[in-house]
Amino acid sequence: MGKKDLNSLEEQERIEKLKEFEKAAYKNGYKLLAGIDEAGRGPLAGPVTAAAVILPPDFYLAGVDDSKKLNARTRLELSAHIKEKALTWAVCFISPVYLDRVNIYNAAREAMQTAVLSLAIKPDFLLVDAMKLPGLSIDYQSIIKGDSLSISIACASILAKVERDRCMENFDSIYPHYGFARHKGYATREHLEKISCHGACPIHRTSFEPIKTMVGLPPLSQQELFKL
């Protein structure tokens, strides 16, 4: 498969199609639209991360897509451009300790809501990837596979993924035996083998079945809880 031509008419048309939900919201009188998405619901370790971003109405950035369809280098490059062009953006991390307490669904939703509340500019409409946000008094639309259908959500998905990956790379230096910089906490064969060999560490999600099955963790100290 050849490399996508980011200057092609086809790419311009694809980006315009990604703006359909935004155009409909503007047509309905909304002015400040925030896209919201999360990253890290599936891994066995690390935080769940959510991003919210408000783009200007004339925003255009070739190559933007669902973060899962992009390689790491492309995500990093796009993330820098999104931050530069956005009216405002915010990222929220929910720690594994809290995630284990409230479950992953509630943690992801709380991360999304907190990211919205952290924006420097209050949005008047939200475009959310497949999640309902009843805790916010802001009109919103939940879109299944929104990261492939809305440019605002796609940009949020890129920010969330890049920031979570960076977080896991930092954890790799703290817990070097697990390979977090490579697999980002997902249940790869390497990761499972490392857990089997070294046991779990404080950023592993003890409520997730593979961790519960493979190893029992002692209670975390107050110092460890503070770090998370």
Spatial separation of the C-alpha atoms in residues 146 and 154, rounded to whole Å: 7
Chain center to CA of 78: 14
CA distances, 108 to each of 95, 101, 220 (Å)? 11, 13, 22
Q: pLDDT tens for residues 24-79?
A: 999 999 999 999 999 999 999 999 999 999 999 999 999 999 999 999 999 999 99
Quote the pLDDT of residue 214.
75
Q: Is the distance from CB of 100 to CB of 212 less than 8 angstroms?
A: no
What letter would DSSP give residue 57? T
Q: CB-based burial of residue 175 (10 Å sphere; 0-12 exposed, 13-18 middle, 19+ buried)?
A: middle
d(CA 45, CA 115): 21
The model's pTM: 0.91
92 and 50 in contact (C-beta within 8 Å)? yes
Q: How many beta carbons lie within 10 A of that of residue 170, not counting itself?
A: 11
What CATH number should be reported for the domain whose range is 9-175?
Answer: 3.30.420.10
What is the tens place of the pLDDT at every residue in 95-139?
999 999 999 999 999 999 999 999 999 999 999 999 999 889 999
The secondary element (H helix, E strand) that includes residue 54 is strand 48-54
Q: Which amino acid is at 130?
A: A
